[in-house]
């Protein structure tokens, strides 16, 4: 009551290992009296062990394991630094107050260590659904915690509870030399094929300051072994698109784990089966067929064997290899063709699918569609190699072609010749003659020279190198082309080409005349400027007259100049004009 010494302390103080624990000791002395002393103890096996003695401002520590880690505050609170798990015990504060007696109280020091994140390890070998014993799923370990935590197990987020003959969760608790605990828990449970996608994890639960805390592990998946229940066999690519020459895969898949052993067979006559397993990858269940053809079509079977229960499953698939065969072209009429004739080409082929036909020329250009091609009014130019292209529209890439030669026969026809041709005497020239014909013709010239022939399809070209002489200029040359069906001839006319020297003389003469007139004009203009040739109005004057009127001025050209100028002013025919006429034309009228 109010007349007694009272000591109050917290019932529990919590501190993490390595931290500092502070325990308060509050007391009341009646009449506002003072304490005489304070003792701090801890309880060890029901015995009080004094830690320190406080009188006034003096603190005396006892020689205990806590020496060096103790401190007392001004409020007489006891602090312990570097707390370890061994410090988890009961501490007592004792207060003496003379005549008021002695009072005490105690505090429980709780030391904790948060556990590390749990480590989970799944069963590395896998688990069979046919196991008679409860198999181990995974193990969970939580290290370095105080006090020891609890561990629970979860599958797909739902907690698992121990269940007889179905779920077992044993655990082990180990105290390390540091005083911390390691907890290990193992989950045992039966599994089904649906658990192949299940996720397992463990959760560590511990208390901290009166609250429950949780730490979860990673999610793990466990390999589940189960027998196959279904088998699927398919053709890659799709069977409807397989054509001759393709590489085909028969892929067999089973829904068991591990995959069973695969075997492949093909049905032969009389319901016998050919074993193709040696050509397949029995582990992956793939049979490769390279460069398939018509004979590759048929019924194929995949058979699986489960080595656990020796159970067999099988599946069949029909392989259809699309093809085109027997492509041939018929020509009507089949007799030799002449220019002007007509011919019909018919194309046919066999295939299990619908076919389209195209006709193309030797350059690959499409000329018609349909299985017939009509060629009318044939000429040598029509002669060519035509091909019938057979296409299966429903099977991309399936096509074949057949080529046929259309040859038009006839006597030669000269289509090009180098005539007329301008040449000069003694010049070396090339004479050209080009013709078309079938059968192949021969080319002959009626003059001697060096001939070179070039053949392209039905065309033949001959180049003759000759030297021009008088006889060749006069008679020309004859090109003669012949084959078994006739002869064609054409004449090459040679024309004499004048030499360029004569043309050059005429051009030079014209230029000289123009220069002379220009010089003469310059002389007359110079004399007029000097005043020796006055302007007259009487028209042309005759300077050969013995007398001259005073109002008329006549300029007489000296004989040495006259003869020179007269020579320059000759007519085109070379005849000289009279000197008087020439001088008369030299008079300038102003």
In this predicted model, what pLDDT tens digit does every residue of 30-55 receive, in sequence order? 888 888 999 999 999 999 999 999 99
**What is the model's pLDDT at position 225?**
92
The answer to whether the Cα torsion of 65, 71, 75, 78 is positive or negative is negative
pLDDT for 453 beyond 80: yes
Which CATH superfamily, name and number, covers 6-112? Answer: Immunoglobulins (2.60.40.10)
Is the model's pLDDT at 350 over the cut of 70? yes
CATH number of 410-496: 2.60.40.10
Give 248 or 521, the one with higher predicted confidence.
248
Sequence length of the chain is: 590
Q: Write the pLDDT tens digit of every residue in 475-518.
A: 889 999 999 889 999 999 989 886 555 455 567 778 888 888 88
What is the rounded (10 degree) CA torsion for 454, 455, 460, 466?
10
Query: Do 92 and 78 form a contact (C-beta atoms < 8 A)?
Result: no
- Give the pLDDT mean for 371-386: 85
pLDDT at 555 over 80: no
Rg of the Cα atoms in the chain: 64
CATH number for 232-319: choose from 2.40.50.100, 3.30.360.10, 2.60.40.10, 2.60.40.420.
Answer: 2.60.40.10
Q: At what angle do helices 559-568 and 500-530 cross, to 10 degrees?
A: 140
Q: Phi first, then psi: what are they for 520, rounded to 5°? A: -60, -45
Q: Does domain 116-225 have CATH number 2.60.40.10?
A: yes
Q: Is the pLDDT of residue 1 over 60?
A: no
| Least confidently predicted of 425-434, 527-536, 568-577 | 568-577
Check: CB of residue 107 under 8 Å from CB of residue 11.
Answer: yes
In the chain, count H helices and then E strands. 4, 47
The answer to whether residues 371 and 358 touch, using CB atoms and an 8 Å cutoff, is no
Q: 420 preceded by cis ω (within 30°)?
A: yes
Which pLDDT belongs to residue 41?
96
Convert the pLDDT of each residue in 229-240 to its tens digit: 999 999 987 766
Q: Find the mean pLDDT for residues 285-312.
A: 89
The CATH fold of domain 325-406: Immunoglobulin-like (2.60.40)
Dist. CA 261–CA 131, nearest whole Å? 21
- Please report the sign of the dihedral spanned by the C-alpha atoms of residue 27, residue 29, residue 33, residue 35: negative
Question: Mean of the pLDDT values across residues 133-160?
Answer: 94
The confidence score (pLDDT) of residue 384 equals 76
| Residue ranges per structural domain of the chain | 6-112, 116-225, 232-319, 325-406, 410-496
Q: Do the first three CATH levels of 325-406 and 410-496 match, i.e. the same topology? A: yes
Asked if the model's pLDDT at residue 547 lies above 50, the reply is: no
Write down the pLDDT at residue 244: 92
Q: Which residues contact 418 (CB under 8 A, 6 or more apart)?
A: 430, 431, 432, 433, 492
CA distance linking residue 571 with residue 590, whole number of Å: 27
- Asked whether the predicted pLDDT for residue 588 surpasses 80, the reply is no
Q: Is the pLDDT at 542 greater than 70, yes or no?
A: no
Write out the DSSP string of 377-388.
Answer: S--GGG-EEEEE
**pLDDT band (50, 70, 90) for residue 241:** confident
Q: Where is mean pLDDT largest: 61-65, 522-526, 556-560? A: 61-65
> For residue 462, what are the contacts with CB-CB under 8 A and spacing of at least 6?
432, 433, 434, 443, 445, 451, 452, 453, 454, 479
Q: In the structure encoding, which two tokens stand for residue 35, read together?
A: 């304490």
C-beta neighbour count of 282 within 10 angstroms: 17
Q: How confident is the model at residue 209 (pLDDT cuts 50, 70, 90)?
A: confident
**DSSP β-bridge partners for residue 344:** 332, 374
Residue 161 pLDDT exceeds 60: yes
The Cα 139–Cα 168 span in angstroms is 12
pLDDT of residue 531: 67
Taking residues 284-296, what's their average pLDDT?
A: 92
pLDDT of residue 589 exceeding 70: no
60 against 458, higher pLDDT: 60
Average pLDDT over residues 292-312: 88
Q: Flag the least confident range among 177-191, 297-311, 521-535.
A: 521-535
Instruction: Tell me the two tokens of residue 110.
Output: 């709780």
Give the residue-averaged pLDDT of 86-99: 93
pLDDT at 499: 55
Average pLDDT, the chain: 84
Residue 511 in tokens = 């230029």
Residue 184 has pLDDT above 80, yes or no: yes
């Amino acid at each position: 009551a109010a007349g007694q010494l009272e000591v109050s302390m917290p019932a529990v103080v919590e501190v993490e290992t390595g931290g500092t624990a502070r325990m308060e000791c509050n007391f009341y002395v009646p009449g506002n009296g003072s304490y005489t002393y304070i003792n701090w103890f801890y309880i060890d096996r029901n015995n009080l062990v004094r830690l320190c003695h406080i009188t006034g401002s003096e603190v005396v520590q006892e020689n205990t394991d806590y020496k060096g880690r103790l401190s007392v505050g001004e409020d007489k609170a006891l602090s312990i630094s570097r707390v370890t798990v061994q410090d988890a015990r009961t501490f007592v504060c004792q207060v003496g107050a003379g005549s008021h007696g002695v009072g005490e109280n105690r505090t429980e020091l709780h030391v904790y260590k948060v556990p590390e994140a749990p480590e989970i390890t799944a069963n590395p070998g896998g688990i069979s659904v046919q196991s008679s014993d409860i198999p181990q799923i995974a193990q969970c370990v939580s290290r370095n915690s105080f006090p020891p935590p609890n561990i629970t197990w979860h599958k797909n987020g739902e907690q698992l509870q121990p269940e007889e003959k179905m779920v077992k969760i044993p655990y082990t608790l180990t105290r390390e030399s540091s005083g911390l605990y390691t907890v290990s828990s193992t989950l045992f449970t039966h599994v089904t094929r649906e658990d192949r996608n299940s996720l397992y994890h463990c959760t560590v639960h511990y208390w901290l300051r009166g609250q429950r805390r949780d730490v979860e592990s990673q999610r793990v998946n466990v390999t589940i072994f189960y027998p196959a229940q279904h088998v699927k066999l398919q053709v890659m690519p799709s069977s409807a698109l397989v054509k001759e020459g393709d590489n085909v895969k028969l892929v067999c898949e089973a829904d068991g784990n591990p995959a069973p052993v695969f075997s492949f067979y093909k049905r032969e006559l009389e319901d016998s089966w050919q074993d193709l397993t040696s050509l397949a990858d029995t582990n992956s269940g793939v049979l490769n067929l390279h460069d398939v053809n018509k004979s590759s079509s048929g019924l194929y079977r995949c058979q699986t064997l489960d080595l656990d229960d020796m159970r067999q499953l099988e599946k069949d698939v029909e392989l259809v290899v699309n093809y085109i065969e027997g492509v041939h072209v018929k020509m009507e009429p089949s007799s030799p063709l002449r220019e002007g004739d007509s011919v019909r080409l018919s194309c046919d082929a066999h295939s299990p699918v619908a076919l389209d036909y195209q006709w193309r020329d030797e350059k690959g250009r499409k000329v018609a569609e349909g299985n017939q091609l009509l060629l009318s009014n044939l000429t040598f130019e029509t002669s060519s190699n035509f091909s019938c292209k057979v296409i299966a529209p429903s099977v991309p890439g399936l096509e074949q072609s057949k080529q046929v030669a259309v040859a038009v026969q006839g006597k030669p026809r000269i289509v090009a010749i180098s005539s007329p041709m301008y040449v000069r005497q003694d010049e070396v020239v090339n004479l050209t003659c080009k013709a078309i014909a079938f059968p192949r013709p021969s080319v002959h010239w009626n003059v001697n020279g060096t001939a070179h022939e070039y053949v392209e399809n039905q065309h033949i070209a001959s180049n003759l190198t000759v030297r021009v002489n008088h006889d060749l200029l006069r008679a020309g040359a004859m090109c003669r082309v012949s084959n078994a069906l006739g002869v064609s001839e054409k004449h090459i006319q040679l024309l004499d080409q004048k030499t360029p020297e004569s043309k050059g003389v005429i051009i030079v003469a014209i230029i000289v005349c123009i220069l002379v007139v220009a010089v003469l004009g310059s002389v007359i203009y110079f004399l007029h400027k000097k005043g020796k040739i006055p302007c007259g109005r009487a028209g042309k004057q005759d300077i050969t007259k013995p007398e001259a009127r005073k109002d008329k001025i006549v300029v007489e050209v000296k004989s040495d100049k006259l003869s020179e100028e007269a020579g320059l002013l000759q007519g085109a025919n070379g005849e000289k004009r009279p000197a008087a006429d020439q001088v008369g034309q030299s008079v300038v009228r102003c």
